Amino acid sequence: MNSESPHGRGAPVGRRVFLGFSPAEAHCFYRARAVVHGPPERTFTILTDVANSTSWVPDCEEVSTDTFTQTFDVRWAGHRFEVFVGEHVPPSRLGWLGIGAGVQPYQTWLLTEVEGGTDVVIENAVRGGLPSRSTLCPARGPTA
């Protein structure tokens, strides 16, 4: 992490981070990384297929739209969120901010083509109170 970023303390240079959502300022932050089979375009298509989110996102109960839009509503882990897409760069980057009652998650996915598939990095920063084992912020420490 680079603490000299103008986008928030602890945010990497060149990365957009909403104020209060950098790892140092969030109530909860985690990063996960995996290589998945298939090209970034396929992974990006799955991530933006919000109508099917309930079939693959843990605790995603409902989505208000059948097509990807810049704003939509979602019920996730017992919370209702109005979602605002802030980063949409097919097929390499996707990020959104959820505004809920007392809880605000920001999630971003970075997709990079690698031999044999797509390297996927997800970062999740959450502001507000959550149950300790919520899927919005798993009970594990941040990873680098």
User: Is residue 8 one of the residues assigned to a domain?
Assistant: no
Average pLDDT, the chain: 80
pLDDT over 80 at 47, yes or no: yes
Q: Tally the domains of the chain.
A: 1
Q: Which domain holds residue 87?
A: 28-128
Q: What is the 3-state secondary structure (H, E, C) of 54-121?
A: HHHCCCEEEECCCCCCCEEEEEECCEEEEEEEEEEECCCEEEEEEEECCEEEEEEEEEEEECCEEEEE
User: Is residue 9 one of the residues assigned to a domain?
Assistant: no
Name the band, by pLDDT with cuts 50, 70 and 90, for residue 56: confident
User: What per-residue confidence (pLDDT) applies to 38?
Assistant: 96
User: Is residue 3 one of the residues assigned to a domain?
Assistant: no
User: What per-residue confidence (pLDDT) applies to 131?
Assistant: 53
User: What per-residue confidence (pLDDT) applies to 36?
Assistant: 95
What number is the average pLDDT over the span 26-31? 84
Name the band, by pLDDT with cuts 50, 70 and 90, for residue 52: very high
Kind and range of the H or E run holding 44: helix 40-47
Give the CA distances from residue 12 to residues 5, 15, 45, 104, 132, in Å, rounded to whole numbers and listed in that order. 6, 6, 26, 21, 27
pLDDT one-digit tens code per residue, 89-130: 999 999 999 999 888 889 999 999 999 999 999 998 888 866
Amino acid of residue 33: R
pLDDT over 60 at 132, yes or no: no
User: Is residue 18 one of the residues assigned to a domain?
Assistant: no
pLDDT one-digit tens code per residue, 61-73: 999 998 888 999 9
CATH number, domain at 82?
3.30.530.20
User: Is residue 66 one of the residues assigned to a domain?
Assistant: yes
User: Is residue 80 one of the residues assigned to a domain?
Assistant: yes
User: Is residue 16 one of the residues assigned to a domain?
Assistant: no
Per the model's pLDDT, the better-predicted residue between 60 and 14 turns out to be 60
User: Is residue 13 one of the residues assigned to a domain?
Assistant: no
Phi-psi category of residue 15: left, alpha or beta, with phi > 0 → left and psi -120 to 50 → alpha: beta
